[in-house]
Structure 1
Amino acid sequence: MFGASWVTKKLGRKISMLTGGLVFLAGAIINAAAQNIAMLIIGRILLGIGVGFANQAVPLYLSEMAPYRLRGSIYVIFQLYITIDILIANVVNYLTAKIKGDHGWRVSLGGAAVPAFFIVISSFLYVFRLLKTQVV
């Protein structure tokens, strides 16, 4: 995503990860609470922006923080986790399709809030720690 690279360049990778996580979380919440097709479209757009931020900022952060000899391995592990997440999402979609009462799609789309929550909390704690060390 073009905007994610600009935010990362101007504000840094940690703020970019936090921004992406918040947008990702907002998209998941909007999708789970959708009352019409417009809400679903807006939620999906926000999910795409959030994932774009994460997929742009996280590998950059990992490559900067990882020891030189481990960079390739750590990046491959990141890609492996992305692939495992895709598998988990498909399993969740399969299982939630069997929920009676036509609410399975809400659970499925709202489930995106789980990884978004982890991104927000972990990046917030890291940014908070960074700000705390700069103030002292």
Structure 2
Amino acid sequence: MTSAIEYFSNRLRFETDVSDVHHDLEAGTPGVVVVDTRSTESWDQGRIPEAIHLPTREIAARAADLVPAGSEVVTYCWSPGCNGATKAALEFARLGYRVKEMIGGYEYWVREGFPVDTAEGRIARPADQLTAPAGVACGC
């Protein structure tokens, strides 16, 4: 039982989901910095509002200039099938930041119907019924 409690507690310490990140951004939770770790081409296709763009390969060189010390960094990449956010979270942890990986990535942000910024402005697609069955958050 202790192993399970430790395991799941650690997951919650180092992972967050798109619904919780959306809530934190809407609430203006102090100290949360969302970092899009994808390429410039991906960033240009759409990104989470208020996110900063910092590709993983640039974190070591640029994080101190873009992310205030003491921030809680939330990293994201494309999807659950991509480990780019995990690699980025590791880089931030090595630099001494508190960090969480946003599970689901950009794909699930879009699929849950949350807004994204594009060159054309802010847009939102209808929620995918497979990720938001009632058209809203799952209620967990």
TM-score of the superposed pair, with normalisation by structure 1? 0.23
**Which protein is richer in strand relative to its size?**
2
Looking at CA atoms only, which structure, 1 or 2, has the larger radius of gyration? 1
Higher relative contact order (CA 8 A, sep 6+): 1
TM value normalised by structure 2:
0.22
